[in-house]
Amino acid sequence: MNAPPLLIIVLAAGKGTRMKSALPKVLHKIAGRSMLGHVLALAHSANAQQLVTVVGTDMPAVEAEAKKLAPASRTFIQHQQQGTADAVLAAREAIKAHKGDVIVLYADTPLIRAETLMKLRAKLNEGAGVAVLGFLAANPSGYGRLLTEEKKGLGSAFNFVKHLTSDFASYGRPTLRSSSARSSDTLLAIREEKDASAAERRVDLCNSGVMAFRIANLADLLGHITNNNAKGEFYLTDVIELARKAGHSAAVVECEEDEVLGVNARDQLAEAEAIWQRRRRTDLMQEGVTMIAPDTVWLSYDTVIGRDVVIEPNVFFGPGVKVDEGAEIKANCHFEGAVIGKGARIGPFARLRPGAALSENVHVGNFVEVKNVTMAAGSKANHLAYLGDGSVGAEANIGAGTIFCNYDGFNKSRTEIGAGTFVGSNSSLVAPVKIGDGAYIGSGSVITKDVAAGSLALERSPQEERPGWAEKFRTLMGRRKGKS
Protein backbone atom coordinates (compact mmCIF):
# COMPACT_ATOMS: atom_id res chain seq x y z
CA MET A 1 0.00 0.00 0.00
CA ASN A 2 1.40 3.37 -1.07
CA ALA A 3 1.13 6.04 1.59
CA PRO A 4 -0.90 9.13 0.69
CA PRO A 5 0.96 12.39 0.10
CA LEU A 6 2.09 14.05 3.31
CA LEU A 7 1.76 17.66 4.39
CA ILE A 8 3.70 18.69 7.50
CA ILE A 9 2.78 21.89 9.32
CA VAL A 10 5.43 23.29 11.66
CA LEU A 11 4.10 25.73 14.24
CA ALA A 12 6.72 28.42 14.88
CA ALA A 13 4.69 31.47 15.89
CA GLY A 14 5.44 31.46 19.63
CA LYS A 15 6.96 34.69 20.94
CA GLY A 16 9.09 32.88 23.50
CA THR A 17 8.94 35.61 26.13
CA ARG A 18 10.33 33.26 28.78
CA MET A 19 13.58 33.02 26.81
CA LYS A 20 14.13 36.73 27.53
CA SER A 21 15.88 37.15 24.21
CA ALA A 22 15.85 39.44 21.20
CA LEU A 23 16.26 36.28 19.11
CA PRO A 24 13.01 34.44 18.31
CA LYS A 25 12.72 31.35 20.48
CA VAL A 26 12.78 28.80 17.67
CA LEU A 27 16.06 30.22 16.32
CA HIS A 28 17.96 29.37 19.48
CA LYS A 29 20.36 26.54 18.73
CA ILE A 30 20.86 22.98 19.88
CA ALA A 31 24.07 21.33 18.67
CA GLY A 32 24.75 24.23 16.33
CA ARG A 33 21.38 24.10 14.56
CA SER A 34 18.28 26.16 15.30
CA MET A 35 15.37 24.35 16.92
CA LEU A 36 13.36 25.16 13.80
CA GLY A 37 16.14 23.59 11.76
CA HIS A 38 15.95 20.35 13.75
CA VAL A 39 12.21 20.13 13.18
CA LEU A 40 12.47 20.93 9.47
CA ALA A 41 15.12 18.20 9.18
CA LEU A 42 12.70 15.80 10.88
CA ALA A 43 10.03 16.77 8.36
CA HIS A 44 12.47 16.13 5.53
CA SER A 45 13.24 12.67 6.93
CA ALA A 46 9.52 11.87 6.80
CA ASN A 47 9.51 12.51 3.03
CA ALA A 48 6.86 15.21 3.25
CA GLN A 49 5.62 16.26 -0.17
CA GLN A 50 4.61 19.65 1.23
CA LEU A 51 6.04 21.60 4.14
CA VAL A 52 4.46 24.62 5.78
CA THR A 53 5.81 26.83 8.57
CA VAL A 54 3.40 28.99 10.55
CA VAL A 55 5.07 32.10 11.96
CA GLY A 56 3.89 35.05 14.00
CA THR A 57 3.64 38.63 12.88
CA ASP A 58 6.92 40.54 12.56
CA MET A 59 9.05 37.38 12.42
CA PRO A 60 11.12 37.88 9.25
CA ALA A 61 14.10 36.02 10.75
CA VAL A 62 12.00 32.91 11.30
CA GLU A 63 10.61 33.10 7.76
CA ALA A 64 14.14 33.52 6.41
CA GLU A 65 15.40 30.49 8.37
CA ALA A 66 12.54 28.34 7.06
CA LYS A 67 13.25 29.41 3.49
CA LYS A 68 16.99 28.86 3.84
CA LEU A 69 16.63 25.35 5.24
CA ALA A 70 13.57 24.31 3.21
CA PRO A 71 13.48 26.43 0.04
CA ALA A 72 10.39 24.67 -1.33
CA SER A 73 8.38 25.26 1.83
CA ARG A 74 5.64 27.84 2.33
CA THR A 75 5.08 30.16 5.26
CA PHE A 76 1.81 31.41 6.71
CA ILE A 77 1.25 34.03 9.39
CA GLN A 78 -0.81 33.49 12.54
CA HIS A 79 -2.03 37.02 13.17
CA GLN A 80 -3.92 36.75 16.46
CA GLN A 81 -2.24 33.83 18.26
CA GLN A 82 -5.43 32.47 19.76
CA GLY A 83 -4.32 28.92 20.38
CA THR A 84 -2.96 25.85 18.62
CA ALA A 85 -6.00 25.23 16.43
CA ASP A 86 -5.88 28.88 15.34
CA ALA A 87 -2.19 28.37 14.48
CA VAL A 88 -2.89 25.31 12.33
CA LEU A 89 -5.76 27.07 10.57
CA ALA A 90 -3.39 29.87 9.60
CA ALA A 91 -2.40 27.32 6.93
CA ARG A 92 -6.03 26.63 5.97
CA GLU A 93 -5.27 27.30 2.31
CA ALA A 94 -2.62 24.58 2.19
CA ILE A 95 -4.75 22.13 4.20
CA LYS A 96 -7.80 22.53 1.95
CA ALA A 97 -5.71 22.08 -1.20
CA HIS A 98 -3.91 19.00 0.14
CA LYS A 99 -5.20 15.47 -0.52
CA GLY A 100 -3.52 13.14 1.94
CA ASP A 101 -2.07 12.93 5.45
CA VAL A 102 -1.28 15.93 7.63
CA ILE A 103 1.16 16.02 10.56
CA VAL A 104 1.44 18.94 12.96
CA LEU A 105 4.86 19.54 14.57
CA TYR A 106 6.17 22.25 16.90
CA ALA A 107 9.34 24.21 16.21
CA ASP A 108 10.18 24.34 19.93
CA THR A 109 10.09 20.53 20.26
CA PRO A 110 13.33 19.57 18.51
CA LEU A 111 14.12 16.09 19.88
CA ILE A 112 11.55 13.83 18.22
CA ARG A 113 13.14 10.89 16.41
CA ALA A 114 12.34 10.06 12.80
CA GLU A 115 11.27 6.53 13.74
CA THR A 116 8.73 7.95 16.20
CA LEU A 117 7.16 9.99 13.43
CA MET A 118 7.00 6.82 11.31
CA LYS A 119 5.14 5.03 14.12
CA LEU A 120 2.69 7.91 14.35
CA ARG A 121 1.92 7.73 10.66
CA ALA A 122 1.67 3.95 10.82
CA LYS A 123 -1.38 4.37 13.06
CA LEU A 124 -3.10 6.11 10.18
CA ASN A 125 -2.33 3.10 7.98
CA GLU A 126 -3.97 0.93 10.63
CA GLY A 127 -7.21 2.88 10.27
CA ALA A 128 -7.01 5.80 12.68
CA GLY A 129 -8.25 9.16 11.49
CA VAL A 130 -6.17 10.90 14.13
CA ALA A 131 -3.00 9.74 15.87
CA VAL A 132 -1.58 11.64 18.83
CA LEU A 133 1.95 11.41 20.20
CA GLY A 134 1.78 10.87 23.95
CA PHE A 135 4.15 10.18 26.81
CA LEU A 136 4.05 9.01 30.40
CA ALA A 137 5.10 12.03 32.42
CA ALA A 138 7.13 11.83 35.58
CA ASN A 139 5.31 15.01 36.61
CA PRO A 140 2.18 15.55 34.49
CA SER A 141 1.42 18.99 35.94
CA GLY A 142 0.78 21.52 33.20
CA TYR A 143 0.20 19.00 30.39
CA GLY A 144 -3.00 18.06 28.63
CA ARG A 145 -4.12 14.53 29.58
CA LEU A 146 -4.87 11.73 27.10
CA LEU A 147 -8.01 9.85 28.12
CA THR A 148 -8.16 6.36 26.66
CA GLU A 149 -10.38 3.30 26.71
CA GLU A 150 -9.62 0.41 29.03
CA LYS A 151 -8.34 -2.82 27.53
CA LYS A 152 -10.89 -5.55 27.08
CA GLY A 153 -10.52 -8.95 28.63
CA LEU A 154 -10.38 -8.27 32.36
CA GLY A 155 -13.89 -7.68 33.74
CA SER A 156 -16.34 -5.66 31.72
CA ALA A 157 -15.42 -4.26 28.35
CA PHE A 158 -15.41 -0.65 29.58
CA ASN A 159 -14.87 -0.16 33.33
CA PHE A 160 -15.97 3.00 35.03
CA VAL A 161 -13.24 4.92 36.82
CA LYS A 162 -14.19 6.47 40.12
CA HIS A 163 -14.74 10.19 40.34
CA LEU A 164 -14.64 10.86 36.60
CA THR A 165 -17.37 13.11 35.27
CA SER A 166 -19.91 11.77 32.81
CA ASP A 167 -18.71 14.00 29.96
CA PHE A 168 -17.74 10.94 27.90
CA ALA A 169 -20.99 9.01 28.00
CA SER A 170 -21.33 9.12 24.22
CA TYR A 171 -17.72 8.02 23.62
CA GLY A 172 -17.19 5.03 25.90
CA ARG A 173 -15.66 4.99 29.34
CA PRO A 174 -12.27 6.66 29.90
CA THR A 175 -9.71 5.34 32.32
CA LEU A 176 -6.90 6.67 34.42
CA ARG A 177 -3.63 5.84 32.74
CA SER A 178 -0.41 5.08 34.54
CA SER A 179 2.82 3.27 33.88
CA SER A 180 1.63 0.40 36.06
CA ALA A 181 -1.88 0.09 34.64
CA ARG A 182 -1.75 0.39 30.88
CA SER A 183 -4.89 0.86 28.81
CA SER A 184 -5.49 0.60 25.07
CA ASP A 185 -4.24 3.11 22.52
CA THR A 186 -7.80 4.11 21.61
CA LEU A 187 -8.08 7.79 22.43
CA LEU A 188 -11.36 9.26 23.66
CA ALA A 189 -10.44 12.85 24.38
CA ILE A 190 -7.70 15.25 25.47
CA ARG A 191 -8.23 17.47 28.47
CA GLU A 192 -6.19 20.60 28.99
CA GLU A 193 -5.20 20.80 32.64
CA LYS A 194 -7.17 23.95 33.38
CA ASP A 195 -10.32 22.27 32.09
CA ALA A 196 -9.70 18.84 33.64
CA SER A 197 -11.44 17.40 36.66
CA ALA A 198 -9.47 16.33 39.71
CA ALA A 199 -9.64 12.70 38.59
CA GLU A 200 -8.55 13.55 35.04
CA ARG A 201 -5.53 15.38 36.41
CA ARG A 202 -4.36 12.15 37.99
CA VAL A 203 -3.88 10.68 34.51
CA ASP A 204 -0.18 10.56 33.67
CA LEU A 205 -0.47 9.84 29.95
CA CYS A 206 0.14 13.31 28.54
CA ASN A 207 -0.24 15.10 25.24
CA SER A 208 2.86 16.21 23.32
CA GLY A 209 0.79 18.29 20.92
CA VAL A 210 2.09 16.39 17.88
CA MET A 211 -0.74 14.94 15.79
CA ALA A 212 -1.23 13.12 12.50
CA PHE A 213 -4.46 13.20 10.49
CA ARG A 214 -6.02 11.22 7.68
CA ILE A 215 -9.30 13.10 7.40
CA ALA A 216 -10.52 14.31 4.04
CA ASN A 217 -12.22 17.47 5.30
CA LEU A 218 -9.69 18.34 8.00
CA ALA A 219 -9.87 22.13 7.52
CA ASP A 220 -13.66 22.05 7.92
CA LEU A 221 -13.38 19.86 11.02
CA LEU A 222 -10.82 22.22 12.59
CA GLY A 223 -13.14 25.10 11.81
CA HIS A 224 -15.71 23.66 14.26
CA ILE A 225 -13.35 24.03 17.24
CA THR A 226 -14.58 26.68 19.68
CA ASN A 227 -12.84 28.69 22.39
CA ASN A 228 -15.30 27.72 25.12
CA ASN A 229 -12.65 26.91 27.73
CA ALA A 230 -10.84 28.38 30.71
CA LYS A 231 -8.28 30.25 28.56
CA GLY A 232 -10.61 31.35 25.79
CA GLU A 233 -8.36 29.79 23.14
CA PHE A 234 -8.95 27.48 20.21
CA TYR A 235 -7.36 24.19 21.28
CA LEU A 236 -6.19 21.74 18.64
CA THR A 237 -6.78 19.03 21.25
CA ASP A 238 -10.56 19.50 20.87
CA VAL A 239 -10.32 17.93 17.43
CA ILE A 240 -10.27 14.45 19.02
CA GLU A 241 -13.85 14.59 20.24
CA LEU A 242 -15.01 16.28 17.03
CA ALA A 243 -13.31 13.60 14.93
CA ARG A 244 -14.89 10.79 16.94
CA LYS A 245 -18.33 12.35 16.57
CA ALA A 246 -17.70 12.47 12.82
CA GLY A 247 -16.98 8.74 12.81
CA HIS A 248 -13.19 8.77 12.85
CA SER A 249 -11.14 6.75 15.33
CA ALA A 250 -8.33 8.28 17.36
CA ALA A 251 -5.21 6.52 18.61
CA VAL A 252 -2.19 7.19 20.79
CA VAL A 253 1.44 6.45 20.01
CA GLU A 254 3.75 6.59 23.03
CA CYS A 255 7.30 7.90 23.05
CA GLU A 256 9.88 8.67 25.70
CA GLU A 257 9.28 11.87 27.63
CA ASP A 258 12.56 13.44 26.59
CA GLU A 259 11.62 13.21 22.90
CA VAL A 260 8.82 15.72 23.34
CA LEU A 261 10.52 18.15 25.68
CA GLY A 262 9.22 21.60 24.78
CA VAL A 263 11.74 24.42 25.05
CA ASN A 264 10.35 27.66 26.46
CA ALA A 265 13.21 28.94 28.64
CA ARG A 266 17.00 28.83 28.81
CA ASP A 267 17.12 26.01 31.35
CA GLN A 268 14.98 23.85 29.06
CA LEU A 269 17.25 24.75 26.14
CA ALA A 270 20.22 23.48 28.14
CA GLU A 271 18.28 20.32 29.05
CA ALA A 272 17.44 19.69 25.39
CA GLU A 273 21.10 20.19 24.45
CA ALA A 274 22.17 17.64 27.07
CA ILE A 275 19.64 15.09 25.80
CA TRP A 276 20.71 15.57 22.19
CA GLN A 277 24.40 15.28 23.07
CA ARG A 278 23.87 12.14 25.14
CA ARG A 279 21.99 10.45 22.30
CA ARG A 280 24.56 11.33 19.67
CA ARG A 281 27.53 10.27 21.79
CA THR A 282 25.86 6.91 22.37
CA ASP A 283 25.19 6.50 18.64
CA LEU A 284 28.82 7.24 17.77
CA MET A 285 30.23 4.88 20.40
CA GLN A 286 27.95 2.14 19.11
CA GLU A 287 29.35 2.85 15.63
CA GLY A 288 32.94 2.27 16.80
CA VAL A 289 34.16 5.59 18.20
CA THR A 290 36.05 5.59 21.51
CA MET A 291 35.35 8.45 23.93
CA ILE A 292 37.44 8.43 27.09
CA ALA A 293 35.05 10.77 28.92
CA PRO A 294 31.88 10.99 26.80
CA ASP A 295 30.17 13.66 28.89
CA THR A 296 33.00 16.10 28.09
CA VAL A 297 32.76 15.71 24.30
CA TRP A 298 30.41 18.16 22.55
CA LEU A 299 29.14 17.46 19.06
CA SER A 300 27.28 19.39 16.37
CA TYR A 301 24.24 18.27 14.41
CA ASP A 302 26.40 17.44 11.38
CA THR A 303 29.53 16.01 13.03
CA VAL A 304 30.83 12.92 11.22
CA ILE A 305 33.31 10.66 13.02
CA GLY A 306 34.71 7.46 11.56
CA ARG A 307 35.39 4.08 13.12
CA ASP A 308 38.28 3.60 15.55
CA VAL A 309 38.65 7.32 16.22
CA VAL A 310 39.79 7.93 19.81
CA ILE A 311 38.64 11.13 21.49
CA GLU A 312 40.15 12.25 24.77
CA PRO A 313 38.32 14.53 27.25
CA ASN A 314 37.15 18.09 26.68
CA VAL A 315 36.82 18.20 22.91
CA PHE A 316 34.35 20.51 21.13
CA PHE A 317 33.09 19.86 17.60
CA GLY A 318 31.50 22.90 15.99
CA PRO A 319 29.49 22.66 12.75
CA GLY A 320 31.02 21.20 9.63
CA VAL A 321 33.57 18.77 11.07
CA LYS A 322 34.44 15.37 9.62
CA VAL A 323 36.95 12.98 11.21
CA ASP A 324 38.14 9.97 9.23
CA GLU A 325 38.74 6.58 10.77
CA GLY A 326 41.68 5.88 13.04
CA ALA A 327 42.36 9.49 13.95
CA GLU A 328 43.40 10.38 17.49
CA ILE A 329 41.98 13.51 19.06
CA LYS A 330 43.81 14.46 22.22
CA ALA A 331 42.34 16.49 25.07
CA ASN A 332 41.11 20.09 25.02
CA CYS A 333 40.71 20.65 21.28
CA HIS A 334 38.24 22.89 19.43
CA PHE A 335 37.16 22.22 15.83
CA GLU A 336 34.88 24.00 13.39
CA GLY A 337 34.47 23.58 9.64
CA ALA A 338 37.43 21.18 9.46
CA VAL A 339 38.28 17.84 7.86
CA ILE A 340 40.63 15.49 9.74
CA GLY A 341 42.12 12.66 7.71
CA LYS A 342 42.65 9.01 8.42
CA GLY A 343 45.17 8.29 11.14
CA ALA A 344 45.78 11.95 11.95
CA ARG A 345 46.86 12.98 15.44
CA ILE A 346 45.50 16.25 16.75
CA GLY A 347 46.17 18.08 20.00
CA PRO A 348 46.20 18.44 22.86
CA PHE A 349 44.99 22.05 22.89
CA ALA A 350 44.71 22.35 19.10
CA ARG A 351 42.26 24.57 17.27
CA LEU A 352 41.05 23.85 13.75
CA ARG A 353 39.02 26.62 12.14
CA PRO A 354 36.91 26.64 8.95
CA GLY A 355 38.80 25.50 5.88
CA ALA A 356 41.32 23.37 7.75
CA ALA A 357 41.76 20.21 5.66
CA LEU A 358 44.15 17.67 7.12
CA SER A 359 45.11 14.60 5.10
CA GLU A 360 46.23 11.16 6.30
CA ASN A 361 48.66 10.94 9.21
CA VAL A 362 48.95 14.69 9.70
CA HIS A 363 50.14 15.80 13.15
CA VAL A 364 48.85 19.05 14.62
CA GLY A 365 50.07 19.45 18.16
CA ASN A 366 49.57 21.52 21.26
CA PHE A 367 48.60 25.17 20.88
CA VAL A 368 48.56 25.02 17.08
CA GLU A 369 45.83 26.89 15.19
CA VAL A 370 44.99 26.03 11.58
CA LYS A 371 42.61 28.12 9.46
CA ASN A 372 41.86 27.66 5.75
CA VAL A 373 44.98 25.57 5.20
CA THR A 374 45.36 22.24 3.43
CA MET A 375 47.93 19.96 5.04
CA ALA A 376 49.07 17.07 2.85
CA ALA A 377 49.75 13.54 4.08
CA GLY A 378 52.35 13.18 6.80
CA SER A 379 52.93 16.89 7.35
CA LYS A 380 53.45 18.16 10.90
CA ALA A 381 53.00 21.27 13.00
CA ASN A 382 53.56 20.00 16.51
CA HIS A 383 53.98 23.08 18.69
CA LEU A 384 52.77 26.65 19.15
CA ALA A 385 52.12 27.64 15.53
CA TYR A 386 49.56 29.62 13.53
CA LEU A 387 48.84 28.40 10.00
CA GLY A 388 46.34 30.63 8.21
CA ASP A 389 45.39 30.71 4.51
CA GLY A 390 47.69 28.44 2.59
CA SER A 391 48.92 24.92 2.02
CA VAL A 392 51.52 22.57 3.50
CA GLY A 393 53.04 19.87 1.34
CA ALA A 394 53.45 16.18 2.16
CA GLU A 395 55.94 15.33 4.91
CA ALA A 396 56.72 19.01 5.56
CA ASN A 397 57.66 19.97 9.12
CA ILE A 398 56.55 23.28 10.60
CA GLY A 399 58.65 24.25 13.63
CA ALA A 400 57.47 25.65 16.94
CA GLY A 401 56.43 29.28 16.94
CA THR A 402 55.97 29.49 13.17
CA ILE A 403 53.44 32.04 11.93
CA PHE A 404 51.79 32.39 8.54
CA CYS A 405 51.51 36.20 8.39
CA ASN A 406 48.42 36.14 6.21
CA TYR A 407 46.81 39.55 6.88
CA ASP A 408 48.19 43.01 6.07
CA GLY A 409 45.35 44.95 7.63
CA PHE A 410 43.33 44.99 4.41
CA ASN A 411 43.74 41.70 2.54
CA LYS A 412 44.54 38.09 3.29
CA SER A 413 47.15 36.27 1.22
CA ARG A 414 48.37 32.69 0.94
CA THR A 415 51.49 30.91 2.15
CA GLU A 416 52.43 27.79 0.19
CA ILE A 417 54.87 25.30 1.73
CA GLY A 418 56.28 22.61 -0.57
CA ALA A 419 56.59 18.89 0.10
CA GLY A 420 59.39 17.85 2.41
CA THR A 421 60.12 21.42 3.49
CA PHE A 422 61.58 22.11 6.95
CA VAL A 423 60.55 25.39 8.56
CA GLY A 424 62.70 26.23 11.58
CA SER A 425 61.27 27.39 14.89
CA ASN A 426 60.08 30.94 15.41
CA SER A 427 59.84 31.73 11.71
CA SER A 428 57.47 34.31 10.24
CA LEU A 429 56.35 33.66 6.66
CA VAL A 430 54.92 36.89 5.24
CA ALA A 431 52.29 36.13 2.62
CA PRO A 432 52.05 35.97 -0.29
CA VAL A 433 55.01 33.64 -0.32
CA LYS A 434 55.94 30.23 -1.73
CA ILE A 435 58.50 27.85 -0.24
CA GLY A 436 59.69 25.24 -2.75
CA ASP A 437 59.85 21.49 -2.19
CA GLY A 438 62.59 20.32 0.14
CA ALA A 439 63.67 23.82 1.18
CA TYR A 440 64.99 24.70 4.63
CA ILE A 441 64.03 27.86 6.52
CA GLY A 442 66.47 28.81 9.25
CA SER A 443 65.08 29.34 12.74
CA GLY A 444 64.06 32.89 13.59
CA SER A 445 63.78 33.97 9.96
CA VAL A 446 61.28 36.47 8.55
CA ILE A 447 60.66 35.27 5.01
CA THR A 448 59.18 37.85 2.64
CA LYS A 449 60.27 36.41 -0.74
CA ASP A 450 59.71 33.09 -2.48
CA VAL A 451 62.26 30.37 -1.68
CA ALA A 452 63.42 28.00 -4.42
CA ALA A 453 63.14 24.24 -4.03
CA GLY A 454 66.03 22.68 -2.17
CA SER A 455 67.38 26.01 -0.92
CA LEU A 456 68.29 27.25 2.54
CA ALA A 457 66.74 30.61 3.42
CA LEU A 458 68.05 32.63 6.36
CA GLU A 459 67.01 36.09 7.49
CA ARG A 460 68.50 37.31 10.75
CA SER A 461 70.88 40.04 11.94
CA PRO A 462 74.55 39.08 12.57
CA GLN A 463 75.12 37.98 16.14
CA GLU A 464 77.17 40.51 18.15
CA GLU A 465 79.14 39.60 21.28
CA ARG A 466 80.76 42.09 23.73
CA PRO A 467 83.17 40.45 26.18
CA GLY A 468 82.84 41.61 29.83
CA TRP A 469 79.68 43.62 29.17
CA ALA A 470 77.47 41.67 31.59
CA GLU A 471 79.67 42.26 34.64
CA LYS A 472 80.02 45.99 33.89
CA PHE A 473 76.27 46.27 33.51
CA ARG A 474 75.58 44.56 36.85
CA THR A 475 78.08 46.86 38.63
CA LEU A 476 76.56 49.97 37.10
CA MET A 477 73.00 49.01 37.98
CA GLY A 478 73.98 48.04 41.52
CA ARG A 479 75.47 51.49 42.14
CA ARG A 480 72.37 53.21 40.81
CA LYS A 481 70.12 51.09 43.01
CA GLY A 482 72.26 51.88 46.10
CA LYS A 483 71.99 55.62 45.50
CA SER A 484 68.23 55.44 45.26
Let me know: does 52 contact 12? Beta carbons within 8 Å: no
Cα–Cα distance measured from residue 350 to residue 445, given in angstroms and rounded to the nearest whole number: 24
Smallest Cα–Cα separation from 338: which of 325, 323, 351, 321?
321
Cα–Cα distance measured from residue 415 to residue 435, given in angstroms and rounded to the nearest whole number: 8
Start-end of H helices in 7-113: 35-45, 60-69, 84-89, 92-97
Q: Give CA torsion, residues 289, 292, 297, 300, to 10 deg.
A: 0
Cα–Cα distance measured from residue 326 to residue 236, given in angstroms and rounded to the nearest whole number: 51
Angle at 86 between CA 230 and CA 28, to 5 degrees: 100
SS3 417: strand
Cα–Cα distance measured from residue 475 to residue 477, given in angstroms and rounded to the nearest whole number: 6
Q: Which residue type sits at 478?
A: G
User: Following DSSP, what letter does each residue of 227-266 receive, concatenated?
Assistant: --STT----GGGHHHHHHHTT--EEEEE--GGGG----SH
Active site residue 383: yes
Let me know: does 430 contact 451? Beta carbons within 8 Å: no
Cα–Cα distance measured from residue 266 to residue 451, given in angstroms and rounded to the nearest whole number: 55
Residues with Cβ within 8 Å of 12's Cβ and at least 6 positions away in sequence, in order, are 26, 36, 53, 54, 55, 56, 59, 62, 66, 106, 107, 108
Q: Classify residue 109 by its DSSP letter.
A: -
Smallest Cα–Cα separation from 197: which of 159, 169, 167?
167
Annotated catalytic residue, options 38, 248, 363, 383: 383
Tally: H helices and E strands in the chain = 10, 37
Annotated catalytic sites, by residue? 383
